[in-house]
Every structure is written in C-alpha cells, then in structure tokens.
C-alpha cells in the first residue's frame, strides 16, 4: 500500500495537487485541515476544541490531531493507499504516524515538499480567502502566525524523513499542471523503486 505525505507551508498547493494525485493513482486523500473543518461545521466537541486554535493560526494539539487521523485511516478499507495532506505537522505526529503504520506492517514511501516563498504564500492565501470564506485565510496576521508555526514546528518534519532518505522537494511555482507533471514524474520513480 502506498503512503505518501504531501508537504509544504500553508498555501503551497498541497490540497490542489492532492486532489489530482488521488484521481491519477486512485488513492485516499486525508487532509487534517478538511477533517477539522468538517468537525467545526458539525459543531462536535472536537470541532469546538480545534476551532480555538485554528482561528488563531495555531496548530491543534498533537493528541487531538493524531487520534482523529488514526480513526480516519482505520475507517477507510479497500483503498490502494493514502495521501496525507497537512499531516504530520510536528515531530510527535510523524512518530505517531510511523508507529501506526508499523503496526500495520506498512511504512511511508515518500514525503514530497512543495517549495514556495513567503510573499507568494501570503498572496495566494489572501486570494483564496476571497472565495473560501475561511476566516484564517482573510487576515494577514493570522496567516503570518500559520507561517511561523510552520517554521517553528513543521519544517523539522522534512528533516525527520530526510534522515531516512524519504524527503523530496518540488518547485511549487508555475502552473498547476506543470507542478503536477513534476510531482508525478518523481512519484512514478518512487513507485518503481519501492
């Protein structure tokens, strides 16, 4: 089973690329951001908790996030593999994911990072906020907080998988199709060598 992490700062295009990858490779897409937004919409206790952090541009605590991810993965049977989008975002999350996969005799095939610079990120997210209605996309100081969280807590996840030769970087500038072409080229290579 293929387990792929799509990685990068907020606004780097993970969700967009994940949707296209899901179609081409027939994988299940798990976005922790989407899962939290669904919980918020349904006003569940988990959603109410997550909302406190998301509205400030902070990460939701690991324990809550890991538990939600685990439940989601366990609920999906008969899939060829998973794309993790927005998870893991901290070292403890990466450790929990590895442990969970180990229990299933599985492991991460690769982490693919989309590289985009800060100014482009702010521009893209503010632009997305115009149509997404996401509160955390409409305020530049919240966006800057999210970028800070990424730098402080998330970027180390790249190094975590780099140490075991699983991290790869793709340029996140350019058209959606150009980026997709580069991602699929890399991914095909990874799959052949699994």
Chain residues that interact with ligand ADP, rule: CB under 6 A: 10-11, 32-33, 36, 53-54, 57-60, 65, 86-87, 89, 93, 136, 146
**Minimum CB distance to ligand ADP smaller for 17 or for 65:** 65
- Give the sheet arrangement for strand 110-115, strand by strand: 28-31, 81-85, 2-7, 110-115, 167-171
What's the CA gap between 149 and 147, in Å, rounded? 5
Q: Which residue has the closest beta carbon to ligand ADP? A: 33
> Minimal distance in Å, beta carbon 100 to ligand ADP?
14
Interhelix angle 91-103/155-162, rounded to 10 degrees, is 50
**Minimum CB distance to ligand ADP smaller for 43 or for 165:** 43
**Minimum CB distance to ligand ADP smaller for 3 or for 146:** 146
**Omega within 30 of 0 (cis) for the link into 107:** no
> Minimal distance in Å, beta carbon 59 to ligand ADP?
4
> Minimal distance in Å, beta carbon 190 to ligand ADP?
22
Q: What are phi and psi of 110, to 5 degrees?
A: -165, 155
> Minimal distance in Å, beta carbon 15 to ligand ADP?
7
**Minimum CB distance to ligand ADP smaller for 70 or for 191:** 70
Please, are residues 145 and 135 in contact by the beta-carbon 8 Å criterion? no
């Amino acid at each position: 089973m293929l387990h792929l992490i799509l990685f990068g700062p907020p606004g780097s295009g993970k969700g967009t690329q994940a949707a296209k990858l899901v179609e081409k490779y027939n994988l299940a897409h798990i976005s922790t951001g989407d899962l939290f937004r669904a919980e918020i919409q349904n006003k569940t206790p988990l959603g109410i908790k997550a909302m406190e952090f998301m509205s400030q541009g902070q990460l939701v605590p690991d324990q809550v996030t890991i538990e939600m991810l685990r439940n989601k993965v366990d609920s999906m049977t008969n899939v060829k593999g998973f794309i993790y989008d927005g998870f893991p975002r901290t070292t403890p999350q990466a450790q929990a994911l590895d442990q969970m996969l180990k229990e299933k005799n599985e492991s991460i095939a690769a982490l693919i990072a989309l590289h985009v610079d800060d100014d482009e990120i702010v521009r893209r997210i503010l632009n997305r906020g115009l149509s997404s209605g996401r509160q955390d996309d409409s305020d530049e100081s919240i966006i800057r907080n999210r970028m800070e969280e990424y730098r402080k807590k998330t970027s180390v996840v790249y190094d975590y998988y780099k140490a075991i030769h699983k991290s790869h970087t793709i340029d996140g500038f350019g058209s959606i199709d150009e980026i997709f072409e580069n991602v699929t080229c890399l991914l095909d290579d990874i799959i052949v060598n699994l």
